[in-house]
Amino acid sequence: RSRSYVIYFTHENMTNKKILVINCGSSSLKYQLFLMPEGLNLIKGIIEKIGAKDSFIKQEIKDGKKFEKKTEIKDHKAAFKQVVQAILDKEYGLLSSIDEINAVGHRVVHGGEKYSASVVIDKTVINDIEECSDLAPLHNPPNIEGIKSAMETFPNAIHTATFDTSFHQTLPEYAYMYALPYELYEKFKIRRYGFHGTSHRYVMSKALDFCKRAKENTNLITCHLGNGCSITSIAAGRSIDTSMGLTPLEGLIMGTRSGDLDPAIIGYLVDKGYEIKDIINILNKKSGMLGISGVSNDLRDIEKGAKEGNKRCQIAIDAFAYRVKKYIGSYCAVMVKCDILVFTGGIGENSVVMRERICKNLQSIGIHLDPDRNKLVGNHLGVVSTDFSRVTILVVPTNEEERIARDSYDLA
């Protein structure tokens, strides 16, 4: 009797919870409200140009009602005031009190070596995130500012943090250690951390559910190909290698980021008169698909350019696909066998041609793409491999916010 009572009581307490997911950048604040445990998205909003005169807020609720307001928003605290007004707005909002929000899930970029899972935020967690700011100077400080402002704005909610790095904390030492003097790891914690962890974890779960497979006996390679790109190999539900490193600059060719290169290039450019800060700026903002093509960081523009005969656009596409292909090959080599290959992110979900290029001539490692399925899948969850392909190839739309909401709900 007592057990059934507990189950009943728990169930009562855990339904119809509203979770607000926050993603704070230096000048932007993205927010989404979820109804849990269904994972139903109720509200989606964004504030941009925080700190500028022409800041604005845009919000859409689940019945499609949209509103947009231009107003000067000087800092994150002021931004949260706008969020509250928008959520409570009689015509364009959905809630009648902010106390209806049970938990707030914050996206945090860097959790260092301390966090291998999402956590409830307290003073220690805030201090730890502050300590990791050295490793993510552009991301962690605005994340902390967002957390502090949100805690003041929603004092009765539980606040949780989900880290981009935490899924990759299972990497073995030989996969995360750079071949540098060991004291650089000891002194400065220089090692591979990996990013996009929330996305890789989300698509892994969706892929396992879809294929009706248990994580314990399944190996996956997940390719998150968007403006930022990373690829992860997963065995028994644990990330065992990933392409991004100490920072999100390493690995695949991205929209504007170089990915892997010979580190000696940096010294060579210094000798040619470049300053380090300019080189870092080039590697992050002027390289990748934009750097090679000279046209755009957006694959759609580059595909158009290539069709019109622009040679550099064609090289950018070929180089992008070639790098992903090489990583898939190397990740197959570090697993006993790969069972599922997942494509996600703006490019992975939408570009039929890029998936085709990447999978071309990978039959020797069991990857057989079905050209018709690849065209027909749209940007929905579905199989794009042939029936006889040893590796099941899937397109899985990612949803990092839903994953954060689920973590926050579980913790709350």
To the nearest whole angstrom, how small is the minimum distance from the Cβ of residue 223 to ligand AMP?
Answer: 12
Q: Exposure of 135 by Cβ count < 10 A (0-12 exposed, 13-18 middle, 19+ buried)? A: buried
Question: Applying CB under 6 A, does 242 fall inside the site for ligand AMP?
Answer: no
Which parts of 376-405 interact with ligand AMP (CB under 6 A)?
Answer: none
Task: Between 240 and 354, name the residue whose CB sits nearer to ligand AMP.
Answer: 354
What is the Cα–Cα distance from 200 to 198, expressed in whole angstroms?
6
To the nearest whole angstrom, how small is the minimum distance from the Cβ of residue 199 to ligand AMP?
Answer: 9
What is the Cα–Cα distance from 164 to 406, expressed in whole angstroms?
15
Q: Which residue is nearest to ligand AMP (CB)?
A: 346
Which window, 24-32, 125-133, 341-349, 366-374, contacts ligand AMP (CB under 6 A)? 341-349
Structure tokens that stand for 188 in this block: 């400065």
What number of other Cβ atoms are within 10 A of residue 73's Cβ?
26
To the nearest whole angstrom, how small is the minimum distance from the Cβ of residue 297 to ligand AMP?
Answer: 6
Task: Between 93 and 194, name the residue whose CB sits nearer to ligand AMP.
Answer: 194
Helix ranges (DSSP H) in 73-221? 76-88, 123-131, 140-153, 173-176, 182-188, 197-210
Residue 98 DSSP symbol: G
Question: Applying CB under 6 A, does 298 fall inside the site for ligand AMP?
Answer: yes
CB 229 within 8 A of CB 253: yes
CB 317 within 8 A of CB 302: yes
What is the Cα–Cα distance from 316 to 297, expressed in whole angstroms?
10
To the nearest whole angstrom, how small is the minimum distance from the Cβ of residue 76 to ligand AMP?
Answer: 23
Amino acid at 408: S
Of 209, 247, 237, 251, residue with least CA distance to 117: 237
Q: Tokens 């392909």 map to which residue?
A: 389
* Residue 53 bridge partners (DSSP): none
Considering only 22, 292, 316, 347, the residue that binds ligand AMP (CB under 6 A) is: 347
To the nearest whole angstrom, how small is the minimum distance from the Cβ of residue 167 to ligand AMP?
Answer: 17
To the nearest whole angstrom, how small is the minimum distance from the Cβ of residue 176 to ligand AMP?
Answer: 25
To the nearest whole angstrom, how small is the minimum distance from the Cβ of residue 62 to ligand AMP?
Answer: 21
Active-site residue flag, 370: no
Which window, 80-88, 114-122, 211-219, 343-351, contacts ligand AMP (CB under 6 A)? 343-351
Beta strands in 28-70 (DSSP E): 29-36, 40-48, 56-61, 66-70
DSSP 205-255: HHHHHHTT--GGG-EEEEEEESSSEEEEEEETTEEEEES--SSTTSSS--S
Which window, 4-12, 93-101, 340-348, 364-372, contacts ligand AMP (CB under 6 A)? 340-348
Residues 6+ apart with CB under 8 A from 366: 337, 338, 389, 390, 391
Considering only 142, 251, 255, 305, the residue that binds ligand AMP (CB under 6 A) is: 255
CB 162 within 8 A of CB 106: yes
Task: Between 146 and 226, name the residue whose CB sits nearer to ligand AMP.
Answer: 226
Structure tokens that stand for 332 in this block: 């197959």
Q: Exposure of 348 by Cβ count < 10 A (0-12 exposed, 13-18 middle, 19+ buried)? A: buried
Task: Between 101 and 393, name the residue whose CB sits nearer to ligand AMP.
Answer: 393
Question: Applying CB under 6 A, does 300 fall inside the site for ligand AMP?
Answer: yes
Structure tokens that stand for 146 in this block: 């967002």
Considering only 160, 165, 198, 351, the residue that binds ligand AMP (CB under 6 A) is: 351
Which window, 292-300, 311-319, 331-339, 380-388, contacts ligand AMP (CB under 6 A)? 292-300
Task: Between 259 and 345, name the residue whose CB sits nearer to ligand AMP.
Answer: 345
Q: How many residues bind ligand AMP (CB under 6 A)?
A: 11
Question: Applying CB under 6 A, does 350 fall inside the site for ligand AMP?
Answer: yes
CB 163 within 8 A of CB 111: yes
User: Using CB under 6 A as the criterion, what x/- string covers residues 222-241 for binding ligand AMP?
Assistant: ----xx--------------
To the nearest whole angstrom, how small is the minimum distance from the Cβ of residue 348 to ligand AMP?
Answer: 8
CB 231 within 8 A of CB 331: yes
**Residues 89, 122, 128, 164: which is the catalytic one?**
164
The residues carrying an active-site annotation are 164
Contact footprint for ligand AMP (CB under 6 A): 226-227, 255, 298-300, 345-347, 350-351
